[in-house]
A and B are shown apart, each in its own frame.
Chain A
Amino acid sequence: MLLGLLILLGCQLIGELLVVALGLPVPGPVVGMLLLLSLLLLTGRRVPEALRKVVDGLLGHLALLFVPAGVGLMNHFGLLAREWVMLAVTLVVSTAITMAVTGWLMSRLARRFSAKEEL
């Protein structure tokens, strides 16, 4: 388990360092994810048991990790109260359109791609 934590935090640390050093526009953990993926692919895709245990724990409760940031909305009651109609309509409609377009496109493209492969 400790090895798993060390791998995750180590990749994140290197990711953060790369972001600062190269001035990348993406957050460190995303670079860390790409780093860990490359490492795993290079070493024959064997995920160490210790790493898998930690990852299952973290990703199994991913939603919990968003709660502290969500509570931060209490600092924006003013703006929310003033513009809530505009914000609510924009967020709901735009998210629905985005999800529909992306999902529709992906499912059609995926079908076409797998059909082509079977030919």
Chain B
Amino acid sequence: MTSFWVYFSARPLLWIVLTLAAFMFSRWLNKRLGGLALFQPVLISMVILISLLVATGTDYDTYFEGAQFIHFLLGPATVALAIPLCDYFDRVRKMWLPILIASLCGVFTAVVSAAGIAWLLGGETRTILTLVPKSVTSPIAIGIVEKIGGYPSMAAGLVLITGMIGCVIAPRVFRLMKIEDEVSRGFCLGLSAHGLGTAYALGLSGMAGAFAGLAMGVAGLVTAFLVPLLVSIVGF
């Protein structure tokens, strides 16, 4: 039995199958619980898989040897966001000025609030620098953190948690701030919660998904230019 486990646990196939199975189970569970935001499929899948890895004494590198094939698809999926953007391009072109203003203000709010709150709560400089690009998609966030001197490997995790938090709080924020149209909902989801927010927006409607993808891209670009500049001004 043990030798079987040793054999299979070292194959990439096992971890792909388990990742898929964990995700499908999480989605089923989420539906059974009435789509409760706190039991978001990504979060439940992570809990299941991490527990499994810890229980079997498997390290992350072994897991990733299999899971990388799923991870790899993030690249083409990002490229694929061009299609909803193309479908709704007339709307995007008409809205270019609101998009520009909302992106600049949104990114500024994200960066300053993250740094400000972490600083008030007594975070160390390196942790604060790691938190700053939390709202942008992980490849951009990692690049920024490397540049300004945070913990790059930690940044990916914080970005993901931010994405999950965004999906959990979105319905409440929408109700509280009376954000009712699909364009604004999608846009603020993509800007504050990157890819996970975009996945959530795609579930609302194609239009929301298009604007979420757009916001994610624009926010990434703006943050990549703005953050190094702000950091040099504040002088950490």
**Contacts from A to B (Cβ < 8 Å):** 5, 8-9, 11-12, 15, 25-30, 32-37, 40-41, 45, 47, 51-52, 54-55, 58-60, 62-76, 79-80, 83, 85-87, 89-107, 109-110, 113, 117
- Taking the nearest CB of chain B, how far is it from the CB of A1, in angstroms? 13
Q: Complex formed: what's the CA distance from A79 to B130 in Å?
A: 12
Pairs across A and B, CB under 8 Å, 17 listed: A25-B147, A29-B76, A32-B75, A34-B82, A37-B86, A58-B73, A62-B198, A69-B156, A70-B42, A72-B156, A87-B127, A90-B118, A94-B117, A103-B179, A105-B101, A106-B102, A106-B188
Chain B contacts for A60, CB-based, 8 A:
202
A110, B169: Cβ atoms under 8 Å? Answer: no
A106, B19: Cα distance in complex, Å: 37
Q: Are A64 and B23 in contact, with the CB atoms below 8 A?
A: yes
Chain B 79-99, CB within 8 Å of chain A: the 1/0 string?
111111111010000110111
| A67 interface neighbour in B70, B178, B189, B224, Cβ under 8 Å | B70
How far is the CB of B22 from the nearest CB of chain A, in Å?
Answer: 7
Partner of A86, one of B41, B84, B122, B225: B122
CB pair B139–A27 under 8 Å, yes or no, is yes
A70 to B165, CA, bound (A): 13
On whether the beta carbons of A101 and B170 are closer than 8 Å, the reply is no
Contact among B50, B105, B200, B213 for A71, CB-based, below 8 A? B50
Would A98 and B83 be within 8 Å (CB), given that A30-B217, A62-B198, A66-B163 are in contact?
Answer: no
Cross-chain contact B67 with A110 (CB below 8 angstroms): no
Residues on the B chain within 8 Å of A95, using CB:
110, 134-135, 162, 165-166, 169, 192-193
Q: Is the interface of A mostly helix, strand, loop or mixed?
A: helix
Q: Give the Cβ gap from B153 to chain A, nearest Cβ, in Å.
A: 7
Closest residue on chain A to residue B26 by CB atoms: A67
The answer to whether A87 and B131 touch across the interface, beta carbons within 8 angstroms, is yes
Known: A63-B199, A91-B162, A106-B184. A70 touches B217 (CB 8 A): no
Q: A27-B143, A69-B138, A91-B158 are in contact. List 16 more A-B contacts (CB 8 A).
A: A32-B78, A45-B86, A63-B196, A64-B42, A65-B74, A66-B160, A70-B45, A71-B50, A73-B46, A90-B118, A100-B176, A101-B106, A102-B191, A102-B192, A103-B187, A106-B184
Contact A25 B78 (CB under 8 A): no
Instruction: Specify which chain A residues have a CB less than 8 angstroms from the CB of B157 in the assembled complex.
Output: 70, 72-73, 76, 80
Q: Which of A80, A91, A106, A107 contacts B134 (CB 8 A)?
A: A91
Instruction: Determine which of A59, A64, A71, A99 lies in contact with B166 in the assembled complex, contact meaning CB atoms within 8 Å.
Output: A99
